[in-house]
């Protein structure tokens, strides 16, 4: 495919091949680099496994191959992939641990924001692969490392959550460890980010140690993972299916059509919503492809074993997202690595306005296109509305299996509609275009969400009996119901 490659700094080696495919050169380079990484990952696991070479060798090889991938895909722009972690490492070494985590977060977000703004203001967006993607992953890595160091060096263990305690660090990594962690090839291009302690356990071969299945002497034993190649091939097959879906069908439903006057003025409410649903679903297939392929690469390198399956670094649960019966369930299934990062550094550390603070950091981390902020602000509104509806409505459906099924059907349909409604601005990017579409949709779900927050607590007071059934089951609920249970006992 012919490209305007004036601003693309990556390798031109495959430019001739790109002309025979439907892929732009940047997309082809990304695909080739990931397929090479998939192959190298197997060699890294077998020939350079922790039982055969030292951790230093594994650090060096992982770093060098990550640097090659960076240069192949981005050329001179790959300097930023070293620049951001270098700036953050300098902050780690020079700042007091009591403020270092905040300083690293500020430095990383500032650096990332400048890259986002440069691309938004000065790039012509003629190519789809840009340096901000890997920088977003690196930002998660270096900031989570800084917070882990703060937890281990400053905070009292009793004040930490279980997750914070498990990832707390007492020692700053050396230069090689830090940069190999930042630029490790399996997760460089599409994530997911992992915590530093998990990475070191992988490098040293301790990720297959299961402390729960220990010997009588409390020494960990090695747990041999089952069917690694079967898992890798299944994920690779799923990635191929997702790639075919967005390559074959996305051009037929371009998101840019939302800006066409004919679409805006001459289509019905129902058709608009149907088109939004199809277009955003096809865009999601692109993310499913990238994340599933990255997951296969991590697994092939020996990363991702959680003691029972190879899903520790799976970044998206496709079926849970698409079939979720609540906004919370679907959000948790999407970009799981980022959700974990946001919980670790913001949500669990902010007692007040934790939801708003989490959405705000997530929006800034993504960039500054207005569509992002429309999506995240709407997401915060609908999260509060969903919680309110869940608290006040669900207990009324807990009395029978039939009513529970009905509730799940209703909430599934509502979740799908809301997801379509709030996510299209994220893809469209524009403020005016997104607001115009909402105007043509009469702001119907925004109005419904506001009415939910205002009226549902008054119209549907909490059903205390339903809440007890929901939490404890019918028998326990009746036993705690006081006079009601006594009256039941007196019936002949």
Query: Which residues are catalytic, by number?
Result: 335, 366
Residue pair 239/293 in contact (Cβ under 8 Å)? The answer is yes
Work out the angle at residue 432's Cα, subtended by the Cα atoms of residues 436 and 190, and round it to the nearest 5 degrees: 110
CA distance 340 to 198: 14
Q: What do you get for the CA distance between the two ends of the chain, in Å? A: 82
Residues 6 or more apart whose CB falls under 8 angstroms from that of 288 comprise 238, 239, 242, 316, 318
Q: Residue 68: how many CB atoms within 10 A of its CB?
A: 16
Q: In angstroms, what CA-CA distances link 229 with 291, 310, 422?
A: 18, 11, 38
Residue 280 and residue 292: Cα distance in Å, rounded? Answer: 18
DSSP string, 288-308: HHHHHHHHHHHHHTT----SS
> Is residue 37 within 8 Å of 65, Cβ to Cβ?
yes
Dist. CA 148–CA 145, nearest whole Å: 5
CB crowding 28-57: b at 16 or more within 10 Å, else e: bbbbbbbebbbebbbebbeebebeeeeeee
CA-wise closest residue to 142 among 189, 201, 89, 80: 89
């Amino acid at each position: 495919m012919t490209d305007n490659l004036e601003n693309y700094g990556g390798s031109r080696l495959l430019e001739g091949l790109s002309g025979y495919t439907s892929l732009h050169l940047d997309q082809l380079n990304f695909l080739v680099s990931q397929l090479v990484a998939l192959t190298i990952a197997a060699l890294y696991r077998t020939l350079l496994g922790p039982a055969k070479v030292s951790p230093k060798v594994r650090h060096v090889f992982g770093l060098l191959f990550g640097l090659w991938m960076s240069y192949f895909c981005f050329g001179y722009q790959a300097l930023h992939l070293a620049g951001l972690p270098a700036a953050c490492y300098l902050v780690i070494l020079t700042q007091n641990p009591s403020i270092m985590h905040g300083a690293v977060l500020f430095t990383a977000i500032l650096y990332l924001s400048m890259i986002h703004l440069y691309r938004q203001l000065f790039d012509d967006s003629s190519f789809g692969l840009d340096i901000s993607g890997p920088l977003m992953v690196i930002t998660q890595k270096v900031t989570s490392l800084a917070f882990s160091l703060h937890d281990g060096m400053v905070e009292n263990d009793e004040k930490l959550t279980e997750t914070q305690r498990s990832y707390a660090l007492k020692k700053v990594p050396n230069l090689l460890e830090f940069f190999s962690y930042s630029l490790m090839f399996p997760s460089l291009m599409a994530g997911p980010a992992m915590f530093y302690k998990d990475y070191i356990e992988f490098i040293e071969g301790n990720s297959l140690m299961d402390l729960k299945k220990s010997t009588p002497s409390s020494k960990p034993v090695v747990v041999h993972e089952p069917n690694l190649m079967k898992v890798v091939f299944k994920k690779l097959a799923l990635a191929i299916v997702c790639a075919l879906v967005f390559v074959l069908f996305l051009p037929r439903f371009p998101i840019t059509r939302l800006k066409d006057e004919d679409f805006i003025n001459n289509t019905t409410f129902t058709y608009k919503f149907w088109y939004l649903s199809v277009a955003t679903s096809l865009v999601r297939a692109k993310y499913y492809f990238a994340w599933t392929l990255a997951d296969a690469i991590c697994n092939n390198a020996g990363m991702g074993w959680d003691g029972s399956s190879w899903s520790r670094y799976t970044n998206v649960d496709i079926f849970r997202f698409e079939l979720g019966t609540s906004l919370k369930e679907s959000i948790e299934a999407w970009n799981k690595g980022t959700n974990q990062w946001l919980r670790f550094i913001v949500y669990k550390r902010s007692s007040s306005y934790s939801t708003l603070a989490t959405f705000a950091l997530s929006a800034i981390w993504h960039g500054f296109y207005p569509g992002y902020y429309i999506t995240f602000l709407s997401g915060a509104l609908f999260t509060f509305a969903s919680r309110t509806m869940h608290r006040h409505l669900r207990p009324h459906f807990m009395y029978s299996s039939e009513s529970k099924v009905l509730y799940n059907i209703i909430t599934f349909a509502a979740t799908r509609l809301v997801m379509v409604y709030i996510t299209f601005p994220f893809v469209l990017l524009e403020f005016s275009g997104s607001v115009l579409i909402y105007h043509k949709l009469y702001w119907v779900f925004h109005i419904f969400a506001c009415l939910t927050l205002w009226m549902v607590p008054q119209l549907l007071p909490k059903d205390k009996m339903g809440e007890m059934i929901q939490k404890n089951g019918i028998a326990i609920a009746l036993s705690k119901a006081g006079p009601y249970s006594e009256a039941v006992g007196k019936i002949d």
